[in-house]
Structure 1
Amino acid sequence: MELVGMLDSPYVRRVAVSLGLMGLPFQLRPLSVFSTFDQFRAINPVVKAPTLITDGGAVLMDSSLILDYAEQLPGKRRSLMPADLDERVRVLRVTGFALAACEKAVQLVYERKLRPADKQHAPWLQRVQTQLHAACEALEAELVAAPLPSAEETMDQAGVSAAVAWLFIQKALQPGDVPAERLPGLAAHSARAEALPAFVSAPFDSSGWKPL
């Protein structure tokens, strides 16, 4: 399999870390949807990261759809989605909050970096920031209620997505946008997760990627 995209995207990194934890080998092709647009378009005309090229040559996109495919593959070391329905509902709920946090953080990055300052709409920025804070606070509440697994052998998709979302927020947004001291549980979970081999092998800087 080949994963196309840059690891500074939380969606690309979420897939890379998950594949590593599942024991599914892949190659990373670190193409940018901005600086290497034409190269990316030659693979996927929609130019959407992440894109996955399966062993059979099919082109898939969207992190959740790619991971749904990966969960069905034979030979994986383990699943990141629990079989028990109640546990699965919690993983889906927490993953939803994490993906919402990613979405709102990405919107802030795009608004600030791609739109001229005099064209930015303050009420829209405030709304997105409010949604981002709500998603992060929901994640913190979940972690206070019941910590997420953070060991290599027990990490699930909720744990992956929450940790990836938190690092992206801290790396990509402005200092103070989402203060770590307000979300100690989320920050601590992310720190523990980032020490795991699957996370270390897929660093935020794509140039440091190495297969497990």
Structure 2
Amino acid sequence: MKITASAASPYVRKAIACAIARGIDNQLERWTIATTDPVLSESNPLGKIPTLITDQGVALFDSPVICEYLDSIGSAPPLFPAAGPARWAALRLQALGDGILDASQPRRREIALPQDEGRIGYINLQRGKVARALDVLEKEVASLGPLKTIGDIAVACALGYLDFRFANEPWRPGHPKLEAWYASVEGLPPMAKTVPSA
């Protein structure tokens, strides 16, 4: 298998963290390619990362699909629980983590552009989404575990991304329980081996 590599992408980080949690990261070849490269578009018409090419040559995208595929390989306990309440809880946490990323990545791009009323409104809208998600996670921190589900990994990657790209907007104040949870998991292999870099 090979996966598009980016040391800065939180979505790539999430996929590789899943592979590490499953004990199959040694089966992943890192594929460095620009999103503008036509070779990537041939595999993924959206031209986005992560893209994973299976051993059978099938291109999978994006991170939720890739993570679920990786969860089907190997013999480690599943990151995606079987059908039932535990599965919905894990998927909901994944949606919260991915939602933080979905609101943060475009906001980062918008901040770099000339500011006008519309752009400022958009930035504030995205910032509000992140703030509300953090508040929910603080209230529901008991549902988070030691990176045993896709939800745990997605939330950890989202918090790591906020540290990486928005250090000037610290998320820890007002979220002491979430801060304590993150401190308990950031040193575990799925996170420690995937620390982002520019």
Q: What is the TM-score when the length of structure 2 is the normalising length? A: 0.87
The match for 1:130 is: 128
Answer whether contact 2:111 2:123 (CA < 8 A) is retained.
Answer: no
Alignment of 1:15-34 (within 5 A): 15-24=15-24, 25-33=27-35
SS in 1 for 2:173: helix
- Equivalence for 2:178: 186
What is the identity, as a one-letter code, of the residue corresponding to 2:132?
Answer: A
Report deviation, 1:47: 1.6
Q: 1:200 to 1:117 in 2, by over 3 A?
A: same
* Residues 100-111 of structure 1 mapped to structure 2, 5 A cutoff: 100-111=99-110
- 2:65 maps to 1:72: no
The partner residue of 2:196 within 200, 204, 207 is 204
Aligned-pair Cα RMSD in Å: 2.2
1:164 and 1:190 in contact (8 A); partners too: no
Give the aligned residue type for 2:8.
D
Question: Which ranges of structure 1 fall in alignment gaps of 5 or more residues?
Answer: 207-212
Offset of residue 174 of structure 1: 5.0
SS in 1 for 2:30: strand
Does the C-alpha gap of structure 1 residues 179 and 201 become closer, same or farther in structure 2, counting only changes over 3 Å?
closer
Structure 1, residues 27-68: CA drift from partner, whole Å, max 9, x if none? 2224343xxx32644654432011001111111111011122
For 2:174, the aligned partner's letter is R
In structure 2, the CA distance between the partners of 1:201 and 1:78, relative to structure 1 (3 Å rule), is same
CA distance in 2, matches of 1:32, 1:142: 38
Q: 1:191 to 1:32 in 2, by over 3 A?
A: farther
Identity, in percent, stands at 25
Alignment of 1:1-212 (within 5 A): 1-24=1-24, 25-33=27-35, 37-38=36-37, 40-41=40-41, 43-73=43-73, 75-83=74-82, 85-113=84-112, 115-117=113-115, 121-143=119-141, 146-150=142-146, 155-173=148-166, 175-176=168-169, 178-205=170-197
Q: Deviation of residue 81 (structure 1)?
A: 1.6
Does the Cα contact within 8 Å between 1:40 and 1:47 map onto a contact in 2?
Answer: yes
Between the aligned partners of 2:108 and 2:180, the Cα distance in structure 1 is 24
Q: Quick check: 1:50–1:62 contact (8 Å CA) kept in 2?
A: yes
Q: 1:172 to 1:31 in 2, by over 3 A?
A: farther
- Partners of 1:193 and 1:30 lie apart in 2 by 28
Alignment length (residue pairs): 195
Unaligned runs of 5+ in 2: none
Native 8 Å contact 2:18 2:70 kept in 1: no
Q: Is contact 1:14-1:160 (8 Å) kept?
A: yes
Cα distance in structure 1, aligned partners of 2:34 and 2:114: 21
